[in-house]
Chains A and B, each alone.
Chain A
Amino acid sequence: MDFVPNTDQDRAEMLRTIGVDSVDRLIDVVPEKARYPELRLPEPLTEMELAAEIRSMAEQNADALHYSYFLGAGSYQHYLPAAISQILLRSEFYTSYTPYQPEVSQGVLQATFEFQSMICALTGMDVTNASMYDGATAMAEAALMAMAATGRCKAVVSGAVHPEYRAVLQTYMQTRNCPVVTSAIRREGGRVVEERLDTLLDDDTACVIVQQPDFLGGVHDLAALVERTHAAGALFILSSDPISLGMLKSPGEWGADIAVGEGQGLGSPMAFGGPYLGLLACRDRYIRHLPGRLVGATHDHEGRRGFVLTLQAREQHIRREKATSNICTSEALVAIGAAIYMALMGPGGLRQVARLCYDNAHYAARQIAALEGYRVLETGRFFNEFVVQCPAPPEEVNRQLLDVGIVGGYDLSGAYPDLKDCMLMCATEINTRAQIDALAGALRDVAASRGGAL
């Protein structure tokens, strides 16, 4: 099937007006041997056939309607209020494009302004943009901002920042020949210990980047590190899970200069990794370095309030090779979804979601810590993720969990060689007591089938 309404008669009339006898005349500028190639693709399908064919592919996947998930590591299963997708399915929103003509785009513009406002409140920062692609690219662009603001080159990053975020940072930094120094993460007995970041600071450091809660779930007192970072003339960049900010001290309260994070947890499904939502917020003094779209409030000639894209002189369509970044689109619709989520939740709801995540994870940790063969490693305080040492490689444990309808934690041994046989377990407000108890039971069975203890 296709969506081309032109009939043969329409085409004939139009070709007559154009003054050619066939569309071939319009294409003969294309080199002949490249013209009209054969495309080897599957036969077309009608809507009915398409839905059936693709549904069967979807049904091959284990999903959160049918399995209980204890897997986080940067992508989280949170409850999505029904109102969100109903609003996002309004095609005036989703079939529009970047608001180049503000008079007919006040919907997207105002919704984005409201997103910006709520993210500022959540992160405790002065200004945020209309979004970046994801948390990882937001973090990379924050490092570039810090380099532009300080004139320095080096990034100091906590090894407890998401491994994929650190990988993206390396990719972005390599074109500038700027070094990235990473703190080491080690296991000491029953504890996970991080090399002190302030020992890695010097006067070539543009920024210090920390994640809170960190990738291993830990929540730490950052006050001293922030102070030492500033004393060294560098910027402090904090990457946060916005759901945790319903409870935890915000980047602004910590004194961060730039706050980044992954906004997927604010009203978007896990969706196998995308599309997601990069959050990038900063203090007023860095606004000219901020990449991406910014929506501002203004008035028309009759004094009516309206919203427009603003400070566009930072951007590629104006500044071209001198732009702060090459970013053009953002994740507009995902940001609107986040705005709807935050509006529905309100301060009380976000606090309650964070509370439920915290309580469920702490209950789960306690149940698992009591199991023979398992050990919950100490990462300091934690929010909703914790490290479990297993009696078998996580891959094997997870295979057995899958058989009983559970998707288990993230295998840490690849990214953290010291954490062999360890997995990162997560709980959110979705997980019920029954699910958590079933997880503990299943883990017990896995240990038993291995003959047991550490």
Chain B
Amino acid sequence: MTEPLLSEISRPGRVGHHLPTAGVPTEGIEELPDDLLRDGLDLPEVSENEVVRHFVHLSAMNYGVDTGFYPLGSCTMKYNPKISEEIARFPGFSAIHPYQPEESAQGALRLMYELQEALGEISGLPAVSLQPAAGAHGELTGVMMIRAYHHGHGNAHRTRLLIPDSAHGTNPATATMCGYSTVPVHSDSRGNVDVEALKSAIDDHTAGMMLTMPNTLGLFDENMAAISEIVHGAGALLYGDGANLNALLGVAKPGDLGFDVMHINLHKTFATPHGGGGPGAGVVAARDFLGDYLPVPVAARRSDGSYGLDYNLPHTIGRVRSFYGSFGVLVRAYAYIRALGAEGLRKVGENAIINANYLRVRLMQAYDLPYSRSCMHEFVLSAKRQKALGVRTLDIAKRLIDRGFHPPTVYFPLIVEEAMMVEPTETETKETLDSFAEALLQISREVEESPDVVKSAPITTVVGRLDEVTAARQPRLHW
């Protein structure tokens, strides 16, 4: 059953929350003139119990990791520890103001400093900013730092960024926002960056290359060392899109692979909740020589052992947001790292890789696997075979919903036809992986025997497939 809108439940005179009357004497307080005041406010009037019931009903129409398996490739939908929710809500973290005196916020500043240190250690890139509010925001920050670096060294003529054809859309969008033009580099038949293509694309107008590692095919590039050498040899810098960092935890440090600056998605790798599309955090980690370009402020520890905020970065790109970062998200990531330690983080990397390869092998008979070598934490299937029978990835995804699973990422990366990107993560049991595999295998049989069942999916959800064409042609964006 669908749920009415608040505007439809609203009745004049209903009150959702009662406030005290003024506690201060108001005689003599000058009123604002009418021309500074608003003329009415048209918001729903709903009682508290109705509000609660309304949002409880909405939550029942939503699927999260806590509902079931959520193998969205490159999103790392791992379990979100509940203790982190409690910790983030400690008044000492939630009821503190960013501008209160530093001596009254030592616990918060220490947490930020230690998180910087930990993420620097994990990535092998010690200069860290916790400021960016999302992965794309971190990308923007990192690419701005690259730009500032080149400008600072008399190389403003370096106006191009190389981006693999498998890259996430945020990469070229970020490049454009920073004033760069983009040069695509295609992948070879093994899913690696084509080294010859890279060599011909790079020149002394190249500022850098943006690379995801493992890449969006879930593969570790066999030419990683060569790529780093070519990029650096041309005087360019290597940017790391850290969306897939989960595969590398305890397995390799991006700094050791040749990356100069990267962003880390705390809401992916470090188990902070995805929230339905935020809040996240896109921490930037860079080599020491790029440290001066970090956004200000960064958390610092002074010689007397106290903690504070450092605004003295000589070549800072400036601020990329207000205040210091999505602190509530940082708290959760910090708690996760303190819980797991080095041995726990390595278990994450290893088990994410084992789980993905297990599913890959179980599914590869029924679905095309364009790149058949071992994957890292995710892999990409193609429904090419099924398409020939009239059933597409979209249909398979919707049928998976009927089977109680959230579908994998679909139609990305763009270089794979009818793509399905599967990332199980390390927090799933073998039984869950098996039941997902069985569902997909069953669907592949349905495609052959009764394709209409797949094409008319989903049938078990509160709404069926929605008319997205009309939604775009005749947008209705508010009630």
Contact = CB atoms under 8 A, between A and B. Distances in A.
* Real binding pair: yes
A3 B85 CA distance: 15
B388 interface: no
B212 to A, nearest CB: 14
B36 A317 contact: no
Contacts of A112: 276
Contact of A6 (B105, B111, B430): B430
A162 B330 CA distance: 24
B157 interface: no
A14 to B, nearest CB: 4
A218 B18 CA distance: 28
A75 B136 contact: no
Contacts of A102: 463, 466
Interface stretch (A15-23, A228-236, A369-377, A445-453): A15-23
A102 B339 CA distance: 34
A120 interface: yes
Nearest to B62: A107
Nearest to B362: A17
Contact of B341 (A44, A343, A349, A360): A44
A177 B16 CA distance: 49
A56 B278 CA distance: 28
Given A1-B339, A41-B342, A101-B401, A272 B97 contact: yes
B118 interface: yes
B152 interface: no
Given A326-B139, A348-B15, A410 B42 contact: no
Given A168-B320, A168-B321, A273-B322, A345 B17 contact: yes
B170 to A, nearest CB: 5
Contacts of B273: 94-95, 333
A386 interface: no
Given A87-B59, A269-B95, A344-B48, A168 B318 contact: yes
Interface string A255-281: 000000010000001111111100000
B273 to A, nearest CB: 4
Contact of B327 (A45, A271, A310, A331): A271
A61 B37 CA distance: 38
Interface string A396-434: 001100100001001000000000000000000100110
Contacts of A90: 55-56, 59
A159 interface: no
Contacts of A352: 19
B98 interface: yes
Interface stretch (B230-238, B251-259, B445-453): B251-259
Given A45-B339, A63-B96, A37 B37 contact: no
A297 B471 contact: yes
A196 interface: no
Interface string B126-153: 0000000111110110001001000000
Contact of B322 (A19, A62, A71, A136): A136
A128 B479 CA distance: 12
Interface string B289-322: 0000001000000000000000000000111111
B170 A316 contact: yes
A398 to B, nearest CB: 6
A50 B95 contact: no
B36 A272 contact: no
B339 A136 contact: no
Contacts of B92: 55, 57-61, 63
A188 interface: no
A90 B2 CA distance: 19
A392 B96 CA distance: 25
Interface string A191-216: 00000000000000000000000000
A217 interface: no
A189 B95 CA distance: 37
A135 B14 CA distance: 31
B133 A274 contact: yes
B344 A2 contact: yes
Contact of A319 (B35, B173, B466): B173
Interface string B22-54: 111110111011011111111111101001101
A354 to B, nearest CB: 10
B101 interface: yes
B441 interface: no
A273 B466 contact: no
Contacts of B393: none
Contact of B95 (A63, A131, A133, A340): A63
A299 B466 CA distance: 6
Among A20, A94, A273, A322, chain B packs the most CB atoms within 10 A around the CB of A273
Interface string A99-113: 111111111101111
Nearest to B398: A103
A319 B139 CA distance: 17
23 contacts: A40-B342, A42-B341, A44-B340, A59-B90, A61-B92, A73-B99, A94-B275, A100-B72, A104-B406, A113-B5, A133-B137, A269-B95, A298-B470, A305-B2, A320-B173, A325-B173, A336-B276, A346-B14, A346-B44, A348-B45, A355-B22, A432-B23, A436-B24
Given A3-B427, A4-B427, A325-B173, 16 more contacts: A15-B354, A86-B52, A92-B66, A101-B397, A107-B62, A108-B276, A272-B327, A275-B133, A294-B477, A304-B2, A304-B464, A305-B463, A331-B278, A345-B17, A350-B41, A362-B29
Those 8 A-B pairs whose CB atoms lie nearest each other, nearest first:
A273-B323, A107-B62, A58-B92, A44-B341, A333-B275, A275-B279, A95-B64, A60-B107
